[in-house]
């Protein structure tokens, strides 16, 4: 009787075989998904139904949400909409408490110089830097309960001197001028430093007020009367000539379509991210358009930062710590 020897399977070979099969499946799936799909369009139609051979004319809705720390994404979307022949008008939807001054000014300038009809629609909050942006538009819609205004500028500093003393950490600086370490967190501001920072804030406020006066066609006196940091409801803002109309996002879309002479049903589109190719995926390309970088901190900085977080309760309460700089922001929304 012939003995049949059972063949032992090497576990390592089995694992390698399964891995190779899974990798082959991944490559095939990726090829089908990324190449056959052909990538997504730059604009996503809200109502995808479109008649055969019907002329396509859209109102693009671009959103500006959250604290304004950079302008690149909004400026890119505005440019794409301006260059797209099927997009006839734009509604810029604001839902922001404001933010850094410079990016707010960049978006304001783009709105002011926009060649296609552009209408502002304010959501829950369009204050400070977001209102700065709105001042560049020829037509501004706000809801009755929108919080807007907050014309003003703020710089915030934190004094951790006593915390450093408690942690037995001594910090000092070697500087080239008396103002080079102004705003340092390891000591109090000197009177002359407070005066220096106040001049920066007031100069930036003058820029803000000039933009509002020019955009809203108000006198300097009218702007100064409301440029004390207060927020207003949409109804109050209309009485103060800070907005043009009380209306919804749809009202703003319909007005923009009318300005662009779009006939028939008004169709809207939103910006979408283009799908990345298989080459980007395999070579390590990110699926996200934006990249973020974090500043490297020393060990002592990290320890003190964590102690400050615990004492102030910032992390636990979800408060946002902004980078140093000039801000046009309504702190009530943070």
Q: What are phi and psi of 231, to 5 degrees?
A: -100, 155
Q: What are phi and psi of 208, to 5 degrees?
A: -60, -50
C-alpha atoms less than 13 angstroms from C-alpha of 289 in its C-beta half-sphere: 11
Please say if 128 is a catalytic residue: yes
Cβ contact 173:181 at 8 Å: yes
Q: What is the Rg, in whole angstroms, of the alpha carbon atoms belonging to the chain?
A: 27
Structure tokens at 100: 């850094």
Please say if 150 is a catalytic residue: no
Nearest to 152, CA basis, from 232, 92, 243, 255? 232
Taking the C-alpha atoms of residue 63 and residue 138, their distance in angstroms, rounded to an integer, is: 18
Q: What are the helix (H) ranges across 72-128?
A: 72-83, 101-112
Taking the C-alpha atoms of residue 153 and residue 168, their distance in angstroms, rounded to an integer, is: 35
Burial class (CB in 10 A: 0-12, 13-18, 19+), 232: buried
Q: Which of 71, 104, 121, 128 is catalytic?
A: 128
Classify residue 66 as left (phi > 0), alpha (psi -120 to 50) or beta. Answer: left
Q: What are phi and psi of 164, to 5 degrees?
A: -65, -40
Q: Which of 180, 261, 273, 274 is catalytic?
A: 180
Cβ contact 216:111 at 8 Å: no
Catalytically active residues are: 128, 180
């Amino acid at each position: 009787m012939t003995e049949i020897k059972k063949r032992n399977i090497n576990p390592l070979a089995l694992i390698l075989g399964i891995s190779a099969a899974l990798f082959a499946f991944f490559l095939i799936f990726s090829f089908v998904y990324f190449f056959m799909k052909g990538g997504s369009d730059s604009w996503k139609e809200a109502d995808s139904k479109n008649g055969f051979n019907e002329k396509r004319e859209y109102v693009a809705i671009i959103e500006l949400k959250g604290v304004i720390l950079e302008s690149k994404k909004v400026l890119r979307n505005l440019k794409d909409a301006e260059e797209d022949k099927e997009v006839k008008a734009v509604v810029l939807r604001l839902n922001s408490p404001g933010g850094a001054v410079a990016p707010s000014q960049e978006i304001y300038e783009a709105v002011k110089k926009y060649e296609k009809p552009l209408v502002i629609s304010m959501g829950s909050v369009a204050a400070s830097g977001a209102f700065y942006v709105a001042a560049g538009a020829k037509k501004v819609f706000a809801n009755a309960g929108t919080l807007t205004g907050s014309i003003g500028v703020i710089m915030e500093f934190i004094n951790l001197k006593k915390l450093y003393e408690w942690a037995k950490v001594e910090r000092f600086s070697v500087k080239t001028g008396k103002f080079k370490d102004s705003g340092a967190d390891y000591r109090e501001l000197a009177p002359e430093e407070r005066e220096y920072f106040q001049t920066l804030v007031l100069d930036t406020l003058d820029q803000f007020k000039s933009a509002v006066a020019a955009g809203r066609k108000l006198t300097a006196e009218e702007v100064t009367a409301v440029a004390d940091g207060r927020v207003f409801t949409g109804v109050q803002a209309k009485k103060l000539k800070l907005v043009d109309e009380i209306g919804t996002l749809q009202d703003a879309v319909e007005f923009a379509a009318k300005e662009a002479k779009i006939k028939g049903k008004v169709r809207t589109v939103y910006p979408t991210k283009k799908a990345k190719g298989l080459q980007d995926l395999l070579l390590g390309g990110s699926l996200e358009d934006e990249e973020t970088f974090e500043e490297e901190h020393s060990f002592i900085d990290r320890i003190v930062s964590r102690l400050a977080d615990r004492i102030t309760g910032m992390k636990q309460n979800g408060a946002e710590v902004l980078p140093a700089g000039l801000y046009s922001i309504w702190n009530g929304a943070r």
